[in-house]
Structure 1
Amino acid sequence: MSNTAKLPHQKELFGHPVGLYVLFFTEMWERFSYYGMRSILVIYMIAQASDKNGPGLGWTELEAYQLYGWYVMLVYLISIPGGILADKVLGQKKTVMLGAVLLSIGHGVLAVEQDWAFFTGLGFIIIGVGCLKPNISTMVGGLYKKGDIRRDKGFSIFYIGINLGSLLATSFIGLVVAKWGWHAGFGLAGIAMILGLLVYIWGQKYITHVGNKMSLEDKKSDVSIGELFNNIFKSPVHLGIMTVLIIISLYFGYTKEGVDHWGYGALFVFLSLVIGLLMMIYKDLDSKIMKDRFLVLLLSFLLVIVFWGAFEQAGGLMSVYTEQKTDRMLFGMLIPTPMFQGLNAGFIILLAVWVANIWAKRKLKNKEASSLFKMATGTIIMGLGFVFMILAVREYEANGSSGMQWLILAYLFHTIGELSSSPVSLSFVTKLAPAKYASLMMGLYFAATGLGGKVAGILGEKSAEFGEYTIFTGIVVFTVIFGLIVIALLKPLKRLTHGAEDNEVEMHNNEAEGFELADN
């Protein structure tokens, strides 16, 4: 046996690099701050001056849904420049540090009881999440060598950290708000983010080998973002496509009715530029295999948008429904609305290993268990959770209130769907993304998540016009049909991955005799 001592970044704990647990606890506290603030954001905006938790902003539900949609979208859309900043300038590790600092400032500013502080704090949080979120996830993938069967499990463990933070936040922030008011809740979220920053600083020695700034040798062979955009002007076809998209975006955005028409115009122009960037990245890839995988990755982002467009109702329409139309009395006590959002995180912690084991056993039996299949199946299961919200609406219409059991069942299905889809989609990006665009592609993944959040906000706005019953029914129908279409197209889509997951399956079959995914 060798007596050579392992360096800090080579050490393992429970079969995984110690760096995984550094990133686990950093993300846990970051998610505490994010989900804690998210759990009270909409109900704070619609709260009146006479609210029992102190004066809110007094906005209408329509205004609250609009801002919620823009906020959730921008939080993740900024992941694109956040990924570019990491890939081209700072490296992932330093960009995560910058994001943690900005988040600490943003949550601290939100604790100030002024309107300017509300918007300024949200601005800092948007930029901070954009810097931190895509890059810390990419660093998790970097902890494992190519083909390492522990990678998916590592992401599942990391995902438990995300949801442990969410569970703690939704359990405590609602109680804090009930006792000390809205801004005390925002302040607690800020304290949590500072804890995450301290954990990250302490654990630097365990992640020295991942997330570093690009070497000079890599930079010589790298294509800059500016060069990619410059190449658009050298291609009449690509330039023509992007010009048409920008013109359509400006026309549609600035002729749209509503106070936020300018926002839509800016969003569509931004997305047109992103499409131009993606065309140039595709052109820059030097093999058919990489190009095919790139296309599959972009198609998988459509699944991400659909999934989160439905799932993010938790912080919007479902949150308001819980606050206004659900009987929340239990043993003579009123349960704070944010605690219901904690059901998702609690179920994840309870069911994560069980769901992972189901998929692992399917893989060992050579049954279909590809990432795309899991994502499509997860979308269907999550969508079926809204069947219980339909039943809740029918009970409310009949009795004037609905029982908590419908929310519990809805969140249960949402959780099983999320566990089947979300951790796998994170891992899928790290498997298929071109190495030199790894952070950028992770940024695009989170941008797709953000667009899903914007869809969720739009659906919330439409509930005033069409009613909750119609919105929930529409979500069920669309998610199920969309998921089934992806499953029907699974074989050609898997061919385009060119066996990106085949080696992993082979290693799994060769090495997994007696292997159990559960943490023993």
Structure 2
Amino acid sequence: MDWNKNYPDSGTVLGHPSQLYVLFFTEMWERFSYYGMRALLVLFLTAAILGEGGGGYGWSEENALELYALYTGLVYFTPMIGGYLADRFLGYRKAVIIGAFVMAAGHGFMALEIPVFFFLGLTCLIVGNGLFKPNISSMVGQLYKGEEEKKDGAYTIFYMGINAGAFLGILLCGYIGEKISWSYGFGLAMIFMVAGAIQFWLSKPIFGEIGAKITKAKEDVIDKVVEKAGSDRMKKWIISGVVISALVFILQRYLVAPEAINDIALKIVNSYVIPPLLFGSVIGIIGYIVTDPSLTKVEKDRVWVIVILTLFTVFFWWAFEQSGGSMTIFSRDYTDRSLTGIGATVFNTINTVLTAGALAVITWVLLKLFKVTWKNISTANIVLSISFIIIWIIVILMLGFEWGMFKGVADALGLKIDENVTEVQASWFSILNSFFIITLAPLFSKFWEMKIIKSGPVKFGIGLILVGLGFGILAFGSMGIPKGAETASVSMIFLVLAYLFHTMGELCVSPVGLSYVSKLAPVRLVGIMFGVWFIANFIANWSAGMTGSAIEAISANYGIAGFFLLFTGVCGVAGLVLFALNPIMKKMMHGVDD
């Protein structure tokens, strides 16, 4: 293989440079912390009024989902700013490290369960994620300079790391948070975020110039572009100021009435602050890009393709991100989660195979990485080894508890286990997405390399239709639930099948989208364009939470089935529109899809 001269040859793992797998595990721990906390957020906020465990803030479902919308939306807004700061000042590596430690602090604050620190923790997660998320994705693209054909496969493998972390985070933080202590669940997320940051920092020797601070020559080019768009820079500062003001506003309102959310404050922010921020940022970003005088005709066409694909990802993530909101509510209130006899045995067996199997696959990848990098980054590998030993211990204890083992340890932790009934925690279903990613990602990676389907827009269209079908399955399973019903006992199989279709759709959209941003964006604007890509997630996550907060109102009039069919219809139409646009977009890519 002809290696990029910007980083040393440290061997390959499964046909890709070992550096990809260092990024894989760094991202895995970050996603462990993010999804582990997110799995608990709505459940924790509503816990007290539902009589679930100790603690919780006693919020209504509507308010909890509105905060969920605000948090998950802003988490994907700040990457635009983080990408800009990395491009201009910090470099990708430094931005990733700073962001990781800020997020670790955020998880630590949340573990205290004190309202002022809880919301300070959410703020740290929003800020830290902005520095971390776009810049580690940018580093993946830098590893494949001159090897564009391998990027789709590389980003799919990287996406496997994302979902490995999500799988373990939801499983372990969710289990510990729901069954033992909310604080322990949030604290576990902090521990592995710190581990990921240290491991990445110690791996610096094998990255060479990849992700380092930009050179003076590159700075000169960027300066010329940015100075010609001074007014646009000012708009960015204004947008940043709005975000900070919104966070400060929310924080001070919660400090006034932390134990009972000030309903008016949250609705003011979601009704009058976020929408202008949302539309203003979209208009500002597009204006900044299309008026850039340094862009050639080919570059501008390709940037427009990124913008169009970004628009359609909004529809995908708007539907998909119901997972942490309305689908969690559905699993808690409308799904039969109590299992006895043979049903409990079957579930515990499946859960054991899923958990141990997934962790075994990730450990196998880890050992392959150790084999080729131990001499160069042994200290980083030791940190990674310790992290995995801790994970294995926690997993063995968790599975043992569910099989009625380690009773002394369970009693010491205050864990109440009914040997006759297995109660599946509401957050458990979210691990299915991650498990399906881990098992299906290698197959999709190989399938894309076969080039049977080469078109990015077609892949996106398929993904949208698949996620719509997933919601169609949920709608079918919910047809027997009366309008306005507060509880039901729908079979778990419908959620399982929905997550399977959602996952297949995700594999057609998310890793492919990251790859296309890397391939289509001008080199000098890669960080900013990744930030733009994540703006789609800002819009989608906020919209998803706000739509989810209306689940009671919609289901009262149209039933739960009607609520889910909304997503089936919108995503299906969006997928068909992308199929129709494919010939035009292919021309605008100027050979990238050939």
Q: TM-score, normalised by structure 2?
A: 0.76
SS at match of 2:56: coil
Checking the alignment, whether the CA contact within 8 Å between 2:104 and 2:194 is kept in structure 1 is yes
Alignment map for 1:14-93 (pairs within 5 Å): 14-48=14-48, 51-93=51-93
Q: Deviations over 1:345-367 (max 9, x none)?
A: 01111111223333433x1xxx4
Partner of 2:425: 336
Q: CA deviation at 1:286?
A: 3.1
Structure 1 residues 37 and 220: alpha-carbon distance in aligned structure 2, compared to 1, 3 A threshold: same
Distance 1:88 1:290 in 2: 20
Structure 1 residues 263 and 474: alpha-carbon distance in aligned structure 2, compared to 1, 3 A threshold: closer
Q: CA deviation at 1:463?
A: 1.5
Residue 445 (structure 2) aligned to one of 346, 350, 356: 356
Distance 1:12 1:63 in 2: 49
Partner of 2:329: 320
Amino acid corresponding to residue 84 of structure 1 in structure 2: Y
Distance 2:281 2:229 in 1: 9
Residue 281 (structure 1) aligned to one of 274, 282, 289: 289
Structure 1 residues 376 and 223: alpha-carbon distance in aligned structure 2, compared to 1, 3 A threshold: farther
Q: CA deviation at 1:72?
A: 0.6
Checking the alignment, whether the CA contact within 8 Å between 1:9 and 1:19 is kept in structure 2 is no
Distance 2:585 2:125 in 1: 36
Checking the alignment, whether the CA contact within 8 Å between 2:301 and 2:589 is kept in structure 1 is yes
Q: Deviations over 1:329-359 (max 9, x none)?
A: 2313001111110000011111112233334
Q: CA deviation at 1:165?
A: 0.7
Q: CA deviation at 1:225?
A: 7.9
Distance 1:401 1:390 in 2: 14
Q: CA deviation at 1:88?
A: 0.7
Distance 1:375 1:310 in 2: 14
Q: Deviations over 1:355-391 (max 9, x none)?
A: 3333433x1xxx4421121111111101110012112
Of stretches 117-126 and 194-203 in structure 1, the one that deviates more from structure 2 is: 194-203
Amino acid corresponding to residue 304 of structure 2 in structure 1: L
Distance 2:89 2:18 in 1: 26
Distance 2:184 2:233 in 1: 52
Identity %: 37
- Structure 2 residue 475 is the aligned partner of structure 1 residue 386: no
Checking the alignment, whether the CA contact within 8 Å between 1:228 and 1:280 is kept in structure 2 is no
Checking the alignment, whether the CA contact within 8 Å between 2:285 and 2:532 is kept in structure 1 is no
SS at match of 1:394: coil
Q: CA deviation at 1:321?
A: 1.0
Amino acid corresponding to residue 422 of structure 1 in structure 2: S
Amino acid corresponding to residue 260 of structure 1 in structure 2: K
- Structure 2 residue 148 is the aligned partner of structure 1 residue 148: yes
Distance 1:326 1:189 in 2: 27
Partner of 1:162: 162
Structure 1 residues 473 and 411: alpha-carbon distance in aligned structure 2, compared to 1, 3 A threshold: same
Alignment map for 1:244-255 (pairs within 5 Å): none
Alignment map for 1:295-444 (pairs within 5 Å): 295-330=304-339, 331=344, 332-361=421-450, 363=451, 367-397=452-482, 400-444=488-532
Partner of 2:533: 445
Amino acid corresponding to residue 433 of structure 2 in structure 1: N
Aligned length: 476
Amino acid corresponding to residue 261 of structure 1 in structure 2: I
Q: CA deviation at 1:149?
A: 2.4
Checking the alignment, whether the CA contact within 8 Å between 1:231 and 1:280 is kept in structure 2 is no
Of stretches 28-37 and 176-185 in structure 1, the one that deviates more from structure 2 is: 176-185
Alignment map for 1:472-483 (pairs within 5 Å): 472-483=564-575
Amino acid corresponding to residue 386 of structure 1 in structure 2: F
Checking the alignment, whether the CA contact within 8 Å between 1:293 and 1:498 is kept in structure 2 is yes
Distance 1:483 1:277 in 2: 25
Q: CA deviation at 1:217?
A: 1.2
Distance 1:197 1:162 in 2: 15
Checking the alignment, whether the CA contact within 8 Å between 1:9 and 1:207 is kept in structure 2 is no
Structure 1 residues 258 and 228: alpha-carbon distance in aligned structure 2, compared to 1, 3 A threshold: farther
Partner of 1:507: none
Amino acid corresponding to residue 370 of structure 1 in structure 2: S
Q: TM-score, normalised by structure 1?
A: 0.86
Distance 2:63 2:515 in 1: 36
Of stretches 11-20 and 423-432 in structure 1, the one that deviates more from structure 2 is: 11-20
Partner of 2:579: 487
Q: CA deviation at 1:314?
A: 0.3
Residue 268 (structure 2) aligned to one of 261, 273, 276: 261
Structure 1 residues 456 and 224: alpha-carbon distance in aligned structure 2, compared to 1, 3 A threshold: farther
Checking the alignment, whether the CA contact within 8 Å between 1:44 and 1:56 is kept in structure 2 is yes
Checking the alignment, whether the CA contact within 8 Å between 1:75 and 1:125 is kept in structure 2 is yes
Checking the alignment, whether the CA contact within 8 Å between 1:343 and 1:408 is kept in structure 2 is yes
Checking the alignment, whether the CA contact within 8 Å between 1:9 and 1:208 is kept in structure 2 is no
Structure 1 residues 342 and 233: alpha-carbon distance in aligned structure 2, compared to 1, 3 A threshold: closer
Q: Deviations over 1:91-144 (max 9, x none)?
A: 111101110010110011111021111101000001111110010001001111
Structure 1 residues 233 and 333: alpha-carbon distance in aligned structure 2, compared to 1, 3 A threshold: closer
Distance 2:528 2:233 in 1: 22
Q: CA deviation at 1:89?
A: 0.8
Distance 1:88 1:17 in 2: 27
Q: CA deviation at 1:264?
A: 4.3
Q: CA deviation at 1:174?
A: 2.4
Partner of 2:124: 124
